[in-house]
Amino acid sequence: MTDDLFGLAEESDLRPETLAPGAVVLRGFARGDSAALVAALREVSAEAPFRHMSTPGGFRMSVAMTNCGELGWTSDASGYRYTALDPDTGRRWPRMPTSFLRLAQAAALQAGFPGFVPDACLVNRYEPGAKLSLHQDKDERDFTQPIVSVSLGIPAIFLFGGEKRAETPRRILLTHGDVVVWGGPARQRYHGVMPLKSGEHPLVGTRRINLTFRKAG
């Protein structure tokens, strides 16, 4: 695979921006392939529509979600977990599009994590005002594998904290096409998203889309 595949060869802002040991921002990494990603996402969401899940405590999440891949992340009164079937349809989650998989693997490699083969992609759709509280990604079985997070659409402030919730997180502006990768010593760091401000992007409209790739099983 070469950078030209994703239209990256001419980008000068793709040098990894280090957040912590094992965590980087790849500025604009997905920008050249974003139209193909959004087109593939439309097919995914037609088969597994976005929905607002509930926390185990009964609170409705402000972010709308769906999944693709062998496993999908779900939340309800029974807790947080990965499932092979979409609980809303009883069918398997949509297959992960090839464009998703290739981008995730290329970003992981660029960040220093070769051989990444995600089996789950959680898709979050943010409307203005939606947020994601500080949390750890800890429902996966293999913590040696990184997290790859792709931002599409209007900007957001990403919160990247420490290994304890009480640690004050850094605030990182993420724009269309930015990719954050964290693993190794940073794998269990707390992270979240501040309430989304209003905006508009020519490809995605008034929303932000986040693709989060994981090796869950």
- The domain locations on the chain are 3-214
pTM of the model: 0.93
Q: Using CA atoms, how far apart are residues 104 and 183, in angstroms rounded to an integer?
A: 13
Q: Which residues contact 48 (CB under 8 A, 6 or more apart)?
A: 66, 67, 68, 72, 86, 88, 89, 93, 94
Question: How large is the average pLDDT for residues 77-87?
Answer: 95
At 139-151, the pLDDT tens digits run: 999 999 999 999 9
CATH number listed for the domain at residues 3-214: 2.60.120.590
Residue 79 in this model has a pLDDT that exceeds 70: yes
Indicate the DSSP class of residue 71.
B
- pLDDT the model gives residue 15: 79
pLDDT digits (tens, 9 = 90+) for 142-198: 999 999 999 999 999 999 999 999 999 999 999 999 999 999 999 999 999 999 999
Q: Given a cut of 70, is residue 12 above it in pLDDT? A: no
What would you measure as the largest C-alpha separation in the chain, in angstroms?
48
